[in-house]
Structure 1
């Protein structure tokens, strides 16, 4: 049986593969600490779970509108107005089974065969695969560590060609935790308007920012708002990864096209999870603030601990819950007779020999780095870093 060419060209998610390896080693009785997880280690807040119970008890178990319930879409626009300082109507919102699927729909709607999509590198692992599936061409633009891996307006300008259609901008970033300032976004917006480029603003981590607030590029004026589709959801900020609710907000004609495609693929998002998401967006944010405070303490701890390892270097991330560690000094070394040829080799040795799961930076388009998630307890972080120290020693 032959698999279609459009699917055959797609690579499986490497981050999920490493998580699966870590779980398999645990099942074999090995003590493995995962610093690879892309989800909060907190439970979904009680008031959100109670809303789901009430929805089930009330029999709210049928299909909803393809674009999501009016109640949830209104909750999204209210949250955007308060948090992002942008006004949208509910007709400019589509609710999807996860932010990843909202991104998938957006690319399918905006990208034609041969269109170029600019990705600042490092980038989230699913971006290139989704661009490929849409028939587009990924154009990775190298960013500099000294600039916190953020795309500059000059780098954007130099990368644009007549085929450029879309820029994907992720702030706070996965894998680096970098946050673009309002001034940086304004310069990018100016170029995007001049060159007529659509922006997909992946803002799933926006509420997890520490030393400065993350700004949405769509808040910088009506022109750039009309050229921006925002991807967001409840997974990260409300510890709701398994509930699978994401949303896209943007120009009404784009949202309508996405709704058409979604109507033939998933129909609608889970009805009960939509009710729970209303409670998340409209209810108390105390659990989110508590979680963010814990993440900040863990961030400070892991940065301090990592920088005590001679061949590892890391800057303090401004948001999300990832550390992007420079391990270039470790490459070329021999450990237990094995030469560390690249970051994938190092990550594999750390998993198999030291019992610590990390994600190679090359999976994100940047060789010589490891992504480490600090969405785990402080004691687990300390133990993991000690294991790495002992192994490298």
Structure 2
């Protein structure tokens, strides 16, 4: 029996392979300091849990409309619109089982086989996987290091566009590198999209996970709402990673297509989780402020320890819960040239588990420096201090 040939093009989120290696090392009786997965070790707020349980008790356990219950779509339209200075009609909101389905359904809606889609590299690996899987041409655009972190190489991005390019995936407040666009960069991306008549997927998963400044959406710029799909998720802001709740805010034609896809794929998103989502949006926000304060403490500690380690350096990001330090000289000091070997040695000598640049899209010819990603959303300050302290001592010993 044969399987479909397209499965050969299907990638995965390879950070989970790192999690398996860390779990195996822990099972052998070793201490692991988990910097590898962007999960959150903080609980959902009590009022969200209460709303979830009440919805179940009240019988909201059956089918519901494919694009989401009207009450949640209205709450999302108000929340997302007010945060971005936009007026959003609830009919443009399509509820999904987390943020990831928005990527898949966006590509199915706008990309034909053979057409090109620009995507960030390094970037969230599911972009590349899904472009390949559905037969598109994956067009990676690069970032360049700056004193403040990373910036999109706009000239390189422009050079990737051909007559068959149909869309660009844009992840402002970026995973894994925590890059944040300046207003000038955001406007330049918008101008490119308008000039070349490109659809835009604006992945805004970390829009509200920030410690300084104010987030802005490319969709709010002139001429962009009609060509942009916003990806929104409850996973980050509300620590609802396992609840699998998100949405797309899309132009009407795409919203209708995505609604039909929902009906084909899942029928609907769990109704009782949607009622919990309403409570998250409209209820007290103290837990959000507390979570951000916790993350900021972890960010500051992580950056301080990284920058005090020989051969490692990173700019302090203003958003997300990742740092993406350059470890080129640290690897030279340890005597390894491959990131996978460096990660393996670090785990077995210090217990520190992390992803590397190789987990976030295919390596490119511009990848001259070596980087790792440290996620601090699922590890407390004490463990950060112990783990990165051990990593520092190990590198210093060489």
Q: TM-score normalized by structure 1? A: 0.95
The structure 2 residue matched to 1:386, chosen from 375, 389, 397, is 389
The runs of at least 4 aligned residues of structure 1 exceeding 4 Å deviation read none
Query: Is the counterpart of residue 43 in structure 1 residue 43 in structure 2?
Result: yes
Match of 2:348 in 1: 352
- The aligned counterpart of 1:187 is 188
Deviation, 1:180, is 1.2
Aligned counterparts, 1:1-393, within 5 A: 1-146=1-146, 148-221=149-222, 223-334=223-334, 339-365=335-361, 367=367, 368-375=370-377, 376-392=379-395, 393=397
Q: How many residues align structurally?
A: 388
Q: Is the 8 A contact 1:176 1:324 kept in 2?
A: yes
Tell me the alpha carbon deviations over residues 181-236 of structure 1, each in whole angstroms, 9 at most, x when there is no partner: 22321121112111101110000100001121111000112x11111000011000
- Offset of residue 34 of structure 1: 0.4
Q: Is the 8 A contact 1:120 1:150 kept in 2?
A: no
**SS in structure 2 of the partner of residue 235 of structure 1:** coil
Gaps of 5+ in 2: none
> 1: distance between equivalents of 2:386 and 2:5?
44
How far apart, CA to CA, are the structure 2 residues paired with 1:359 and 1:152?
24
The answer to whether the 8 Å contact 2:141/2:153 transfers is no
1:110-155: CA deviation from partner (whole Å, max 9, x where unpaired)? 1110111111222112110011112111111221011733324433
Shift of 1:7: 1.5
CA distance in 1: counterparts of 2:107 and 2:28, whole angstroms = 40
Question: 1:240 offset after TM fit, Å?
Answer: 0.2
CA offsets per residue over residues 256-284 of structure 1, 9 Å max, x none? 11121221111111111111011111112
Tell me the distance in 2 between the aligned counterparts of 1:317 and 1:194: 31
2:187 aligned counterpart, secondary structure: helix
2:311–2:333 CA contact under 8 A, matched in 1: no
Q: Distance in 1 between matches of 2:183 and 2:280?
A: 27
SS of the aligned residue for 2:167 comes to strand
| 8 Å Cα contact 2:208/2:237 also seen in 1 | yes
Change (3 A) 1:289 1:59: same
Superposition TM-score, scaled by structure 2 size: 0.94
d(CA) in 2 for partners of 1:142, 1:181: 16
Say what the alpha-carbon RMSD is for the aligned residues: 1.5
When residues 2 and 149 of structure 1 are mapped into structure 2, their CA distance, relative to the original with a 3 A threshold, is farther
Separation in structure 2 between the aligned mates of residue 157 and residue 260 of structure 1, nearest angstrom: 34
Taking the aligned partners of 2:221 and 2:353, their CA distance within structure 1 comes to 39
Task: Answer yes or no: is the 8 Å Cα contact 2:200–2:228 preserved in 1.
Answer: yes
